Amino acid sequence: MDTVFHKISSLTPDPLVIAEAGTILKRGGLVAFPTETVYGLGASAYQEEALRNIYQAKGRPSDNPLILHIAELDTFYELAKTLPESAKIITAAFWPGPLTVIVPRSERVLDVVTGGLDTVAVRFPSSLIAQQVIRAAQVPIAAPSANRSGRPSPTSAAAVKEDLDGKIDMILDGGDCTIGVESTVVDCTTTVPTILRPGGITYEMLTAVLKRVDIDPGLNGDSLAIPKSPGMKYRHYAPVAPVLLFEGAVDKQRQAIEKQAMAYSGQGKKVGLLVCDEWQYSLPPVAVLATFGSLTRPQDIASRIFRVLRSFDHKTVDIILAQGIDEQGIGRAVMNRLRKAAGHQVIKV
């Protein structure tokens, strides 16, 4: 299939392009569009065939459920069977925005969306393009990240094209995503609401409005617990080359990474380094360097992390040594993605 490609302004989206996207979605087609987090691959939540095509285009396992995107609150009441108190509180505080809530599902939600679970994931994005696309389609829009399954999520239209050109009807290019990691997924069906995936809305932000918030123990690589969010059990967010992640004090990481880089390059391996801006002029010249931003600005690191991971695919390295960052605020989401990209191959220094 030919994929139609349109550039579109994120501040004043062209109504004709939005209408065209709406028409494609209404007739069961697939449209990739930007959100504030990452690009999404959208289909009508009420058309089973279209939903199956999402799994097909992404190569996604069918037991991994989809998030339904809405652009007005009434739709939330239509999709949820009941609204837990915690869901009311956090959606009031953080919607529209990078927050997804898991709530009991209503009869309107199709089984293909939830993979047979009795809950549904709902998100109200703040991106203007995303909101307008959803309104033009006049239905909730199921939208996973617009990447091939297992690859780093796309934060630009070029990354979507790399993975899905020829497999979907349309790509809207609204520029780079601002947040750069996916939404925070919070299960509101448990007595204490639980973070299933750290993301744009941080643990600290959630605890400012809720008395208690748990973090799914399955998110911690050391634990034997099985993640509650089906999507978190797969190796994920990964560039083509294997990633080895370092965690610990900054100067110790620095020593360990340098030593490891020298050792690998001594074995004739082409080494990629994924490190902070602060190190960029002082590392040994044995490696292909990509920097993810300054340690003083974790927001910048989040917005660049997937792009930098993808950039290694064009540099054909044999192994990537990645620096870990502080697990605070948005840093928790960054570290979660890095650990998954590393398939939990972590060296603690």
* Count of helix runs (H) and strand runs (E) in the chain: 11, 16
Among 112, 122, 123, 339, binds ligand TXA (CB under 6 A): 123
Question: 15 or 59: whose CB is closer to Mg ion?
Answer: 59
Q: Which is nearer to ligand TXA, 236 or 254 (CB)?
A: 236
Residue 180, phi-psi category: left (phi > 0), alpha (psi -120 to 50), beta (remainder):
left
**Please, which of residues 96-115 interact with ligand TXA by CB under 6 A?**
98, 100, 102, 114
Beta strands 184-187 and 194-197 are antiparallel
Residue whose CB is less far from ligand TXA, 37 or 291 = 37
120 touches ligand TXA (CB under 6 A): yes
Q: Given the complex with Mg ion, which of 145 and 183 has the nearer CB atom?
A: 145
How far are the Cα atoms of 86, 149, 238, 289 from residue 121, in angstroms, in the given order?
A: 14, 19, 24, 38
**Cβ proximity to ligand TXA, 233 vs 270, nearer residue:** 233
- Reduced 3-state DSSP string for 281-316: CCCCCCEEEEECCCCCCHHHHHHHHHHHHHHHHHCC
Q: Which of 53, 183, 253, 323 binds ligand TXA (CB under 6 A)?
A: 183
Binding mask 33-52 for ligand TXA (x = CB under 6 A): --x-xx-x------------
Q: How many residues bind ligand TXA (CB under 6 A)?
A: 30
124 or 292: CB nearest ligand TXA? 124
Among 175, 221, 230, 248, binds ligand TXA (CB under 6 A): 230
- State phi, psi for 56 to the nearest 5 degrees: -60, -50
Sheet (strand 346-348) strand order: 287-291, 271-275, 319-323, 243-247, 346-348
State which residue has the least CB distance to ligand TXA: 231
| CA gap 144, 55 in Å, rounded | 9
Point out which residues bind Mg ion (CB under 5 A): 145
- Provide the binding-site residues for ligand TXA, judged by CB under 6 A: 35, 37-38, 40, 64-67, 98, 100, 102, 114, 117, 119-121, 123, 125, 143-145, 182-183, 185, 196-197, 229-232
